[in-house]
């Protein structure tokens, strides 16, 4: 019997599913003013990154912070020091896909830093008293919520008394090694 011949029924299942996704890469600049006028930049690192995700409008906001550490020389490269500064940020990641039939009251959002914030460039500012660093970061966000899924149901599929024909003939099991079957028992 072909599938089209059966009397199929439709059911709606309410389940939790991924109802929205998004991804965003961005670069930002920060200006740090060290206690001394820098002569040269010896290194710049971002550490202690923390963030959380919240639903906001058509997207998900990633709210976070990290510490900027800049190792620099000053006094005509005769001394070194490390300038530290904590910066906070809010990154709105738009959802590229949203299930319009999800239940808004059941929304749960999450974010993952696919690329931890990373300093790609550190330069001395034009006035000579600041350090400008360029940071790249990338987030993938997801929204999980309850939604309806439509499925087709075959009411005869669970009939225990029905004799199922899987199209196997009597000679289909001749190639099986009976010794191997007994070992599994």
State pLDDT tens for residues 3-52: 555 678 889 999 999 999 999 999 999 999 999 999 999 999 999 999 99
pLDDT of residue 181: 53
State pLDDT tens for residues 57-79: 889 999 999 999 999 999 999 99
Per-residue pLDDT for 127 more than 70? yes
Per-residue pLDDT for 177 more than 80? no
In contact, 140 and 114? CB cutoff 8 Å = yes
Per-residue pLDDT for 184 more than 50? no
Q: Which residues contact 51 (CB under 8 A, 6 or more apart)?
A: 62, 63, 64, 65, 111, 113
In contact, 156 and 162? CB cutoff 8 Å = yes
180 pLDDT band (50/70/90 cuts)? low
pLDDT of residue 158: 66
Q: What is the CA radius of gyration of the chain?
A: 30
pTM, 2 dp: 0.74
Q: Where are the domains of the chain?
A: 11-152
């Amino acid at each position: 019997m072909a599938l089209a011949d059966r009397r199929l029924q439709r059911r709606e299942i309410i389940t939790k599913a991924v109802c929205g996704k998004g991804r965003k890469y961005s670069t930002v600049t920060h200006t740090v003013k060290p206690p001394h006028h820098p002569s040269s930049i010896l290194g710049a690192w971002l550490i202690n990154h923390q963030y959380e995700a919240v639903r906001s409008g058509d997207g998900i906001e990633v709210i976070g912070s990290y510490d900027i550490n800049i190792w620099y020389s000053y006094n005509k490269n005769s001394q070194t020091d490390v300038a530290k500064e904590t910066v906070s940020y809010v990154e709105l990641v738009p959802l590229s896909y949203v299930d319009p039939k999800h239940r808004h009251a059941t929304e749960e959002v999450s974010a993952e830093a696919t690329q931890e914030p990373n300093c790609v460039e550190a330069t001395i500012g034009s006035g000579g008293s600041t350090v400008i660093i360029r940071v790249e970061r990338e987030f993938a966000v997801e929204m999980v919520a309850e939604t309806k899924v439509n499925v087709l149901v075959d009411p005869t599929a669970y009939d225990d008394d029905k004799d199922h024909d899987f199209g196997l003939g009597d000679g289909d099991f001749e190639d099986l090694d009976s010794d191997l079957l007994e070992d599994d028992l």
